[in-house]
Amino acid sequence: MTSQRMFGIVILVIGVILLVVGMNASHSLADQASSTFLGRFTHATTWYIVGGSLIACLGLLMAVFGVRGRNA
C-alpha cells in the first residue's frame, strides 16, 4: 500500500470522526434550542458536519484512487 493511500485512509477516518462529532453535537440542548427558534444549527455544529463530510470525501478519493505522480 502506498503512502498516499494510507494518508487517504487517515484523512477518511478524521473526516468520519468530525462528522460523528457534528451529528452528536446536533442533538445537544443548545443545538436543539437553536434549531427550534432559529431554524438552523449553531455555526460550530454546521462546520463540523460540512467539514467532516468534505474531508471524508477527500480521504475516500485519496484512498481509492491515490495520488499519481508523473512517473507512476
Q: What is the rounded average pLDDT of the residues 25-42? A: 83
Burial of 15 (0-12, 13-18, 19+ CB in 10 A): buried
Q: Percent of the chain scored above 90 by pLDDT?
A: 47
The domain locations on the chain are 3-65
Q: Measured between alpha carbons, how far is 13 from 7 in angstroms, rounded to an integer?
A: 10
Per-residue pLDDT, 10: 95
Q: How confident is the model at residue 54 (pLDDT cuts 50, 70, 90)?
A: very high
Q: Measured between alpha carbons, how far is 62 from 53 in angstroms, rounded to an integer?
A: 14
**pTM to 2 decimal places:** 0.79
